[in-house]
Amino acid sequence: MSTAIDIVGVSKRYGTLTALDDVSFSVRQGEFFALLGPNGAGKTTLISALAGLARQDEGTIRVMGHDTVHDFRDARMALGVVPQELVFDPFFTVRETLVFQSGYFGIKRNDAWIDELLFKLGLTEKANANMRALSGGMKRRVMVAQALVHRPPVIVLDEPTAGVDVELRQSLWDFVQELNDAGHTIVLTTHYLEEAETLCGRIAMLKRGRLIALEPKEKLLAQSAGREVALKLSGPLPAALEALKTREEDGRQVLALTEPAALETVLAAVREAGLEVRDLTLVETDLETVFVNMMRGSRTA
Ligand SMILES: Nc1ncnc2c1ncn2[C@@H]1O[C@H](COP(=O)(O)OP(=O)(O)OP(=O)(O)O)[C@@H](O)[C@H]1O
């Protein structure tokens, strides 16, 4: 089985507000996946449904093949969620917090793994400190450790770097990257395209509860980098160029160029396919424009 998360036709309403509107996508095992969207897009609602904390009105979600409603325990066991908010009991020490969380998952002797987590997250010296005595950044590290006590194959981080200093941000990313290298599937939600850029393979965008884009990073970045070429050809687009195609506009194929020199490659492929270029225009856009256009719904119109 190669699917880590499978979301099919998921909708969620709060009264008259539709927080998720028929959302479907899958995340493969071992992927580093980003879920992007502005405030209120539905990211946290989707994560809550994944974790079985909120039930969707329609659709199904599976985590490592386990249905989050009918097979809640196994689905939850397969998932580690680092929440956006710092949620903790101020009277427990860091170690107690992690032992307690292990117990929640029915794991009794977890000391070796807890020690390793504390070490990896730079918390060893704080193991016996009370949660309330920790700085915000340290608390956030505990949230990460807490999400991992049961060694879940799938890890979801809900805006883990909100309000986090540069040093922690870097060490957090190093650790998450290490987990991904070890085979864990990572889903990251963030407001920042830049953050997703460095780490993720594919990027999904939500807007007002709807999935408006789901692209490999390279394709999105190529669009964002501000280089596109609109081509009017004498025949259909050669298969070799399909991967670069971002859209069709007025009978022109719009292709993303990873770098200006990529235009040569595009033209070579056109020649090789025995086609003629009837018209060629370079389109300038910047990252902000691409993102804003998507958020305005130009792709869903
Ligand atoms: N428990 C709730 N009751 C009513 N409305 C809710 C509830 N939870 C979320 N909403 C609404 O659902 C929509 C989606 O919210 P959600 O928190 O999922 O967005 P988000 O993408 O995570 O935003 P942010 O980036 O601000 O965290 C919002 O309009 C929000 O106000």
- Decide whether any atom of ligand 1 lies within 6 Å of the 190 Cβ: no
pLDDT at residue 293 is higher than 70? no
Give the distance (Å) from ligand 1 centre to CA of residue 276.
Answer: 50
Atom of ligand 1 nearest to the CA of 206: 21
CA distances in angstroms from 252 to 113, 203, 260, 298, listed in the order given: 56, 26, 19, 17
CA distance 269 to 237: 10
Rounded Cα–Cα distance for residues 153 and 63 (Å): 10
- Is ligand 1 within 6 A of the CB of residue 295? no
Strands 210-216 and 66-67, how do they pair? unpaired
pLDDT in tens, 125-151: 999 999 999 988 889 899 999 999 999
Characterize the bridge pairing of strands 277-283 and 228-233: antiparallel
Report whether residue 17 contacts ligand 1, using a CB cutoff of 6 Å.
yes
Whether the predicted pLDDT of 262 surpasses 80:
yes
Question: Which residues have CB under 8 Å from 286's CB, separation 6+?
Answer: 224, 226
Q: Is 41 a pocket residue for ligand 1 (Cβ < 6 Å)? A: yes
Lowest mean pLDDT among 148-152, 170-174, 192-196, 269-273: 192-196
**Number of neighbours of residue 192 by Cβ within 10 angstroms:** 12
259/18 Cα distance (integer angstroms): 40
* Atom of ligand 1 minimally distant from the CA of 48: 18
Closest protein CA for atom 18 of ligand 1: 42
**Gap between the Cα atoms of 120 and 239, Å rounded:** 46
- Phi, psi (rounded to 5 degrees) for 144: -70, -45
The pTM assigned to this predicted structure is 0.77
- What pLDDT is attached to residue 299? 44
**ipTM of the modeled complex:** 0.95
Q: Position 223: which residue type?
A: Q
Query: Exposed e or buried b for every residue in 31-53, given b needs 16+ CB within 10 A?
Result: bbbbbbbeeebbbbbbbbbbbbe
Cα–ligand 1 centroid distance for 193 (angstroms): 20
Q: Answer whether 42's CB lies under 8 Å from 28's CB.
A: no
Distance CA 9, CA 38 (A): 21
- The best mutation among 14, 20, 208 to test binding of ligand 1, ranked by most ligand atoms within 8 Å of the C-beta, falls on 14
Q: Which CATH architecture has domain 3-221?
A: 3-Layer(aba) Sandwich (3.40)
Q: Residue 252: beta bridge partners?
A: 249
Computed over its alpha carbons, how large is the radius of gyration of the chain?
22
Strand partners, 80: 155
Smallest CA-to-CA distance from 32 within 216, 222, 220, 161 is with 216
Question: Among 104, 56, 49, 114, which residue's Cα sits nearest to residue 75?
Answer: 49
pLDDT tens-place string over residues 184-223: 999 998 777 777 777 888 989 888 899 988 888 777 766 6
CATH 3.40.50.300 residue spans of the chain? 3-221
